[in-house]
Amino acid sequence: MGLLSSDSDGDKGLFSDINVTPLVDVMLVLLIIFMVTAPFMIETIGVNLPKGAGAEAQGQTTPLTISITNKGEYYIAKQLFTSEELRTFLSDNPRIKNGEAIYIEADQETRHKVLVDVMSSAYLAGAAKINIMMERP
């Protein structure tokens, strides 16, 4: 198999090159595993979205998403906020000050007042792009 090589003197020595094929195979398998499991790592709150037609969300980073449950609770990245904490968080958030869009996912059983309160808090914090999420019919 070529494990031994000969010098000009005729002495036989060990072949010292590293075979990288198994390393590349393992790396490709790990890459495939990460690509398959990455979509399951996204954390969301169980919100029953209303159905409707609309445009697809655009963007390359994870959007700032405010989740509103049917009980009127506010969550951002699975962290519970009171209405005052939400106002403070939104007004101090640099992503909003940079003009990044906010996405609001509200349960279809959420009272209209709760949704309007979140939208007005986002607007007062300086958000120029406020989007409401829904499921396609």
What pLDDT, in 10s, does the model give residues 2-38? 455 555 555 566 777 788 899 999 999 999 998 988 8
The dotted CATH code for 64-132 is: 3.30.420.270
pTM for this predicted structure: 0.56
Q: Are strands 79-81 and 102-106 parallel, antiparallel or unpaired?
A: unpaired
pLDDT digits (tens, 9 = 90+) for 46-67: 666 667 776 665 655 778 889 9
Closest Cα partner for 110 from 82, 73, 136, 84? 73
DSSP string, 42-107: -------PPB---PPP--SSPPEEEEE-TT--EEETTEEE-HHHHHHHHHH-HHHHTT--EEEEE-
Q: Domain boundaries in the chain?
A: 4-41, 64-132
